[in-house]
Structures are given as structure tokens and as C-alpha cells.
Amino acid sequence: MTELIPAPRSATAGSGEVRLTHRSRLCADTATQGVAHWLGAALRQATGLPLREGRELDDAEGGIELRLAPGLGPEEYRLVSDGSGVLVEGGSAAGVFWGAQTLRQLLGPDAYRRAPLDRDRAWSVPRLTIEDAPRFRWRGLMLDVARHFMPKEGVLRYLDLMAAHKLNVFHFHLTDDQGWRIEIERHPRLTEIGSWRARTKTGHRASPLWEDKPHGGYYTRDDIREIVAYAAERHITVVPEIDVPGHSQAAIAAYPELGNTDVIDTTSLSVWDTWGINPNVLAPTDNTLRFYEGVFEEVLELFPSQFVHVGGDECPKDQWRRSETAQARIRELGLADEDELQSWFIKHFDAWLSARGRRLIGWDEILEGGLAEGAAVSSWRGYAGGVAAARAGHDVVMCPEQQVYLDHRQDPGPEEPVPIGWVRTLEDVYRFEPVPPELTPEEARHVLGTQANLWTEVVEDHARVDYQAFPRLAAFAEVAWSALPAPAERDFAGFQSRMAAHYGRLDALGVAYRPPAGPLPWQRRPGVLGRPIDGPPPHR
């Protein structure tokens, strides 16, 4: 009946349809005016209807009414279309916004276009009642803009695509060995030097191919403000990631004193042009701590998010083992080893952020050497880190690479472009379960939600991001939003049937998704070496 994605909690059909005409109005109370402005702008450009805004509907004209309903949960909504028009009510403006997204789907794929195809066509929605609410409060997408930069307009576009799928956390991976993407006023060389590299490896790091031209870019402070504001209008929280103490060669190239200068000549380092785990990590010195405190001070000015992601992953310890400075710090602090040194580094910023009313979140390596008190964990190396963190009373976002890394290949066929990792089909993602069954109900309450991650080492532009993300992000969105049965019992055939309509929406939005029959000729990358992993991925 509705062909909605993600599937709502309940949908009850009525008889007939509700027409929207040139006389229809769009009405909102004070709390939902922002949603009304967004919905009105989206529908006016797609339909050509004026949809004049007002405070209440005229029974003779009908239209759309948006309002709060105090009895509903914060992101819960109710959509009723009947003889008086369409009513969308929610427990907050966010709930109303998600209901407005459902209304847009009910209007059909052409409601996603930027201009009307036919100004004389009739617009209608079926008469029905939908009651809906999300399963998880963290429904995220991580986008890596450090390996391959995505210009601001592309980021804004992805916020719109997230909103259309009721995803509400944008994890913004801003720094890595291959590029620093955020302007920091007190440390200008981070972008002057760290935001671009001289060349780029094409394909996996074993590939013999290179693109011999500079690559780079960064977001100014005003760009960041715009992105955060644009996301907020769509009830999406932007969680910034500034990587420490590993994945930091771009920063060290800009400021060599941040590296382990007693082990290597850090002045010879440039922004890294290839992929993999980099041995050049931050020195555990007071100077490094003060430098990054300055970075995070500016980050907190720009991002109101409760959470700040500090990375904490893939930090090789070899330089610390050889560094007298690092060893002296281990002795000074009474630490057992380099793992505990990394834990000390993360705990420092956990306390620093907590003192400013924020919360640290990091990849599950922050468990090594002792979990930072108050920190939350992004569990990427399978479920184990998330299980350990939840059992220790820490909040968790489940994003295991074996299940929801969207840079991994979608099919075992030879035509898949630059194949990376395990095969993760649309059905595989649809059957992903974020809450490990071994957790007790009390422990499971620490699972804030789930997130799909899209790394861009071999994903060089927005068309390749689209190809890797869709249609799997639609399946993931349903996993994150809808109260689905156990993985083996999920109706994938029914989801595929609804996807048949959803492909039309993606077409109208200009999304270069992977077609069900396989990549189109221009989506293939013949001759570019990837890193496929054979066999099914480990479940845990």
C-alpha cells in the first residue's frame, strides 16, 4: 500500500485519497514552523503548488497541517490523511519532520524532483493512518572526507539523503594521514600544508597505479557552521572526528614537532599519498596535548554535538617503543606499557571534554590499556568491543566492519569496481542486527544505536560514494529505524518489493546507486586493483 522505507510501525488503510491542489495550505504551529518551511520548499519546487503557509487549515481548502502532540515520544509521529487533509503530528519538531519525510514518500517519486514535470498533474496521498517511531536514537552514517575530499555541496547533499531515510547522526571523519579537512585558526598550517597531497594511490595500496596530481580541500569555519546548521534544520546531529594519536601524518607534516622527533626526522614527512596503517603517530608530550586542546577548543565552538569523536584506532606503538621521550612518560606516569600510554592519551581528552560538558567517543581500540571513564565506543572490529564496553556500563554504537562497512564490495562478480573487503549484499545489510544476543536487557540499553561507515580510500568522488552507499544505505536505514524481527525472519522479498518504488525516488534525487542487475559500464573500474576477502565474514 505505502511502499515506505524505512517501514513504519503501523499503517492502516482508509478509503480514497487526499488531493493537494493550488488552493491547499500548509499550516504549522510555532514549534513546527521550521519543518513547515523545509516541507514547503521541497514540495513547492517539485509540485509547482503554492502551498501557502498559515496557522490553521480552512476546511474548504484542505492541505497539510503540522503540530506537536505531547503524548508522543520525541521522534515519534502520527500521520493521518482523511477528508480534512493531511495531519502530521509528533512528540517534537523532529518527530514531525520524520512524518513529513513519510508524507513526501507517499506523494510519489516525482516529489523528490527540483522542478515540476507537469504543472497540471494531480497530487494525492492515500487516506490512511500511520503511527511510527524509531527503534534507535543513534541512526548514523560515517563519511570519510579525509582520504578523498568531498566539497561542501556534496556534504549538504548527503545530509538531504540521510534525512530522506530518517538517519539522524552524521559522523564527519575530518582528519587522517591523507588530509586535514577543517580550518583551525590558531594552527593555520593544518590546512595550508595538511589539506592536500602531491599525488594519490589509485586502488588498493598494492596497486602499481598512481594519480599524479595534487588532491585536497578543506572546510572553512563558515563552511562548517553552514553544514551544522543545514543538518540541524533536518534534525541531524553532526559528530566531528579529529583523529588522535594515530592516523595523524597530515598534522605531523604541518607541525613536525607533534611527531616522535627523537625516532625519525619528522620534517621529512609529507601528507601521506597511499593507504594502510601508518607508523607515524603523535608524540605523547605536553606540547602535543596543548596543541590538540587548542584544536578541540575550536571544534567545540563549531559543533554543538554532545559527542566528539577522537578516533583512537590503529595506532602502531613501534615509535613509542623506540622513543626515549615516550618511555620516560611511561615511567613518569607509572604505566605498564605502550597500550596504557595510548589509554592515558585518550583519558586525557575524555577528562578535558567532560569538563566542558561534552562526551568522548572513539573506535573500539580505546578499550586497550583500560577504557576511558565516561567514554562511548564505536564498535568496528566486530561485536566484541561493543559487548565488552556495554558490559562495563559504557554506551556503544554498533558499526562492525563485517556487516556495515559500505566501502566493502556488494557482489563477488569481476565487474565490481575496486573490490574491497567481504561481500556485503543488500540482503546481508538488511539482515544485520545491531544488538548482540548475548547482552542482557540491562546491558543492551547501552547500545545507543548503529551506524554505517563509508571509507573513501578507493572512493574518489561523489558518484562512487553513491554507488557504495546505495541501495544498501536504504536497507541499513530500515534496520536502524524499524522494529524488525530476528534477522532470519525478516521479509527481504517484501523489502525488495518496496525498493522497486524506492529506486524511483533515488532516480529523482540523482543518486548513482548500484543497479540490482550490477554496475553500469561507467561504474566499473577495470584494471584497478582492490583487496577482496574471500568467504563469508566472521560474525563476531
Instruction: Reduce the DSSP state of residue 76 to 3 states and report it.
Output: coil
The CA dihedral of 417, 418, 419, 424, to the nearest 10 degrees, is: -60
pLDDT of residue 56: 73
Rounded mean pLDDT, 83-96: 96
Residue 2 has pLDDT above 90, yes or no: no
CA dihedral (100, 105, 106, 107) positive or negative: positive
- Bridging pattern class, strands 123-132 and 77-82: antiparallel
Q: Is the pLDDT of residue 96 over 60?
A: yes
pLDDT at 330 over 70: yes
- What's the pLDDT score for residue 175? 98
Who wins on pLDDT, 253 or 373? 253
Q: How far apart are the first and last CA of the chain?
A: 37
Whole-number average pLDDT of the chain: 96
pLDDT tens track for 16-57: 999 999 999 999 999 999 999 999 999 999 999 999 987 777
- Taking a C-beta distance cutoff of 8 angstroms, is the pair 340, 287 a contact? no
Q: Given this model, what pLDDT does residue 54 score?
A: 78
467 in Cβ contact with 521 (< 8 Å):
no
Q: Mean pLDDT over residues 368-388, rounded? A: 89
pLDDT surpassing 60 at residue 207: yes
Q: Could you say which DSSP state residue 55 is in?
A: S
**pLDDT greater than 60 at residue 6:** yes
160 contacts: CB under 8 Å, gap ≥ 6? 234, 509
Prediction pTM value: 0.98
Among 3, 314, 415, 461, the active-site one is 314
Is 427 an annotated catalytic residue?
Answer: no
For the question of residue 247 being annotated catalytic, the response is: yes
The three-state secondary structure class of 195 is: coil
In this predicted structure, the answer to whether residue 310 has a pLDDT above a threshold of 60 is yes
pLDDT score at 60: 53
HSE value, Cβ hemisphere, 13 Å, CA-based, for 260: 24
Q: 538 falls in which pLDDT band (50, 70, 90)? A: confident
| DSSP-assigned letter for residue 8 | P
In order of 182, 193, 194, the CA distances from 217 in angstroms are 9, 11, 9
Given a cut of 80, whether residue 152 has pLDDT beyond it is: yes
Indicate the length of the chain as a whole number: 540
25-28 and 52-54 beta bridge pairing: parallel
Cα distances (Å, whole numbers) of residue 347 to 174, 314, 355 = 21, 17, 12
Q: What pLDDT sits at residue 324?
A: 98
The CA R_g of the chain, rounded to the nearest whole Å, is 24
User: What contacts 441, CB < 8 A, 6 or more positions away?
Assistant: none
CA distances from residue 226 to 149, 294, 349 in whole angstroms, order as listed: 17, 22, 26
What's the rounded mean pLDDT across residues 201-217? 96
Question: Is the pLDDT score of 474 beyond 60?
Answer: yes
Locate 500 and state its grid cell. 522497486
Give the dihedral sign, CA 36/39/41/43. Answer: negative
Residue 176 catalytic? yes
Kindly provide the b/e burial profile for residues 483-502, where b requires at least 16 CB atoms within 10 angstroms of the residue's own CB: ebeeeeebebeebbebbeeb
C-alpha cell at 310: 577522537
Which listed residue (65, 76, 89, 176) is catalytic? 176
pLDDT value for 61: 65
Percent of the chain scoring above 70 in pLDDT: 99
Query: Residues of the chain with pLDDT > 90: what percent?
Result: 94
User: Could you report the per-residue pLDDT of 224-262, keeping only the tens digit for each?
Assistant: 999 999 999 999 999 999 999 999 999 999 999 999 999
Amino acid residing at 348: H
Confidence of residue 282 (pLDDT cuts 50, 70, 90): very high
CA distance linking residue 50 with residue 143, whole number of Å: 36
The predicted structure's pLDDT at residue 400: 98
Mean pLDDT of 259-286: 98
Contacts of residue 292, Cβ cutoff 8 Å, sequence gap at least 6: 242, 244, 282, 349
pLDDT at 73 over 60: yes
Q: Residue 31 gets which letter from DSSP? A: G
Bridge-partner residues for 179, per DSSP? 176
Catalytic residue, candidates 204, 215, 247, 502: 247
